[in-house]
């Protein structure tokens, strides 16, 4: 299959590599930088550390910490105003997917005077952005690797997705030390998001040999380390594996697409304010069970690559084992169901119709191994409520 890839042009990996941020800004010939971050990182000394490194290199720094939640058009708009007012020429994103998506959208707005709606969708952005150096602090969304942004529209309550080359960060700095402060619940949710990216990219109808390589490598890294990172937050090897795994998964899904888990997860997030990683985790086992018939050999390869089975195990049996193990992993990492998250049953049922309709027209649904009917999507929502 033909393959077209958009990936960051520079990737720096290792402990304390965040300390090299000023040199990266200089390489890009920026002189005024907008640091985009969130209130959590304002409280820790992390933003101050990055700002000092930049100032010491004679760079002008402005800091925007208005990413208080998963980003919406207003949050991005305020950051963009600051970018313009302070005459910045590039952004440094320090945070999780919310911060990185905000910085990527500010960067694109800076070079494309257009309304958000026109910058969302597939390949709609005319010019490359001002540029982003991404320092992910969760592992994660893979946003530091991807050409994707997810921004909520405040009016319609819909999460808009933009997918364009212009959203690929200029530089990704993968310093696992930035992820070590993640609490257990965040480690679990973002880790399952990364696993979902890798699995969905591998079984996607848009997968190619190159994305396959990265997707399977990511599955292995994440599967072998997610429990260690969760049980022992200071396990440096596990933290590094999770960050590299989520980066690889980010390249894989950004170029091969995600699938039905993501299509169904975004309406749950939009209706009930469930964080992205968590809503994926709530759906991953049930959607996998539904999808295996469309690509049994691919799901079997996933099971075999993490040693749940070997070549002597028939594909069908591999798929059954994989679904069971996903349920087990999600229970072990104490990920709540929609019910135990506190979503009222009545309200969930009332919204199923809208959520299923939104999921059925989402861009990634058509790349799932089995393309579902609206009724099948409703069934998956129903059986995921309390499982």
Ligand X SMILES: NC(=O)c1ccc[n+]([C@@H]2O[C@H](COP(=O)([O-])OP(=O)(O)OC[C@H]3O[C@@H](n4cnc5c(N)ncnc54)[C@H](O)[C@@H]3O)[C@@H](O)[C@H]2O)c1
Site residues (vs Fe ion, CB under 5 A): 193
Distance CA(337)–CA(385), nearest Å, equals 6
Q: Of the listed pieces 134-142, 207-215, 339-347, 353-361, which binds ligand X according to CB under 6 A?
A: 134-142
User: Looking at 11-19, 141-149, 322-330, 346-354, which segment touches ligand X (CB under 6 A)?
Assistant: 141-149
Residue 179 interacts, among ligand X, Fe ion, none and using kind-specific CB cut-offs from 5 to 8 Å, with: ligand X
Nearest CB to ligand X, comparing residues 190 and 195: 190
Helix (H) / strand (E) containing 335: none
Residues between 249 and 288 with contacts to ligand X, criterion CB under 6 A: 276-277
Task: Copy the structure tokens of residue 218.
Answer: 């990511």
The total of other beta-carbon atoms located within 10 Å of residue 345's CB is 11
The answer to whether 101 contacts ligand X (rule: CB under 6 A) is yes
Contact, 275 vs 366, CB < 8 A?
Answer: no
Applying CB under 6 A, which of residues 179, 196, 257, 364 lies at the interface with ligand X?
179
Could you tell me the strand order of the sheet in which 148-152 lies?
121-122, 159-163, 148-152
Nearer to Fe ion, 109 or 283 (CB): 283
Q: Are 191 and 222 in contact (CB under 8 A)?
A: yes
Task: Give the C-alpha separation, 76 to 106, whole Å.
Answer: 6
Residues between 40 and 59 with contacts to ligand X, criterion CB under 6 A = 40
Buried b / exposed e over 180-208, threshold 16 CB at 10 Å, is: eebeebbbbbbbbbbbbbbbbbbbbebbb
Report if residue 146 touches ligand X, rule: CB under 6 A: yes
Q: Please identify the residue of the shown chain whose CB is closest to the bound Fe ion.
A: 193
| Number of residues binding to ligand X, judged by CB under 6 A | 29
Per the DSSP assignment, residues forming a β-bridge with 122 are: 163
Question: Quick check: 384 binds ligand X (CB under 6 A)?
Answer: no
Name the minimum Å distance from CB 193 to Fe ion. 4
Residues near 36 by beta carbon (within 8 Å), at least 6 away in sequence? 64, 67, 79, 91, 92, 93, 94, 95, 99, 102, 103, 106
CA distance 147 to 261: 19
Q: Which is nearer to ligand X, 199 or 309 (CB)?
A: 199
CA separation (Å) from 50 to 59, 64, 225, 254? Answer: 11, 13, 28, 28
Cα separation of 249 and 253, whole Å?
Answer: 6
Does residue 187 interact with ligand X by CB under 6 A?
no
φ/ψ of 34, rounded to 5, equals: -100, 115
- Residue among 24 and 193 whose Cβ is closer to Fe ion: 193
Among 98, 102, 107, 351, binds ligand X (CB under 6 A): 98
Site string for ligand X, 56-85 (x = CB under 6 A): --------------xx--------------
98 touches which of Fe ion, ligand X, none (CB within 5 to 8 A by kind)? ligand X
Q: Does residue number 34 form part of the binding site for ligand X (CB under 6 A)?
A: no
Give the shortest CB-317-to-ligand X separation in angstroms: 32
- CA–CA gap between residue 288 and residue 226 (Å, rounded): 19
Provide the minimum distance between the beta carbon of 257 and ligand X in the complex, in angstroms, as a whole number.
11
Residues that bind ligand X (CB under 6 A): 38, 40, 70-71, 95-99, 101, 137-138, 140-143, 146, 148-150, 178-179, 181-182, 186, 190, 193, 276-277
């Amino acid at each position: 299959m033909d393959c077209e890839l958009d990936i960051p042009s520079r990737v720096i990996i290792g402990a304390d590599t965040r300390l090299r941020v000023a040199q990266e800004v200089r390489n890009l010939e920026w002189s005024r930088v907008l640091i985009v971050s969130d209130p959590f990182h304002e409280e820790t000394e992390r933003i101050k550390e990055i700002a000092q490194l930049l100032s010491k290199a004679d760079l002008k720094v402005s800091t925007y910490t208005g990413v208080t939640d998963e980003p919406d058009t207003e949050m991005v708009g305020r950051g963009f105003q600051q970018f313009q007012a302070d005459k910045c020429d590039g952004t440094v994103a320090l945070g999780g997917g919310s911060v990185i998506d905000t910085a990527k959208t500010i960067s694109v707005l800076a070079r494309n005077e257009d309304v958000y709606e026109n910058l969302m969708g597939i390949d709609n952005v005319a010019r490359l952005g001002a540029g982003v150096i991404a320092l992910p602090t969760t592992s994660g969304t893979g946003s530091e690797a991807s050409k994707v942004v997810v921004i909520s529209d405040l009016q319609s309550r819909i999460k808009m997705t933009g997918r364009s080359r212009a959203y690929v960060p200029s530089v990704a700095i993968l310093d696992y030390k930035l992820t070590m402060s993640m609490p257990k619940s965040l480690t679990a949710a973002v880790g399952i998001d990364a696993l979902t990216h890798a699995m969905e990219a591998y079984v996607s109808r848009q997968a190619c040999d190159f994305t396959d390589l990265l997707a399977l490598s990511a599955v292995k890294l994440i599967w072998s380390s997610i429990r260690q990172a969760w049980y022992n937050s200071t396990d440096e090897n596990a933290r590094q594996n999770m960050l590299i795994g989520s980066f690889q998964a980010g390249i894989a899904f950004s170029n091969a697409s995600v699938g039905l888990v993501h299509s169904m997860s975004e309406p749950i997030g939009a209706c009930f304010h469930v964080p992205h990683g968590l809503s994926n985790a709530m759906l991953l086992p049930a959607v996998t069970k539904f999808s295996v018939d469309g690509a049994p050999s691919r799901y079997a390869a996933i099971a075999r690559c993490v040693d749940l089975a070997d070549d002597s195990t028939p594909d069908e049996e591999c798929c059954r084992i994989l679904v069971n193990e996903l349920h087990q992993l999600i229970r072990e990492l104490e990920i709540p169901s929609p019910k135990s998250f506190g979503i009222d049953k009545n309200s969930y049922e009332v919204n199923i119709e809208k959520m299923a309709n939104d999921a059925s027209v989402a861009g990634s649904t058509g790349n799932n191994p089995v393309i579902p009917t609206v009724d099948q999507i409703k069934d998956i929502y129903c059986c995921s409520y309390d499982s």
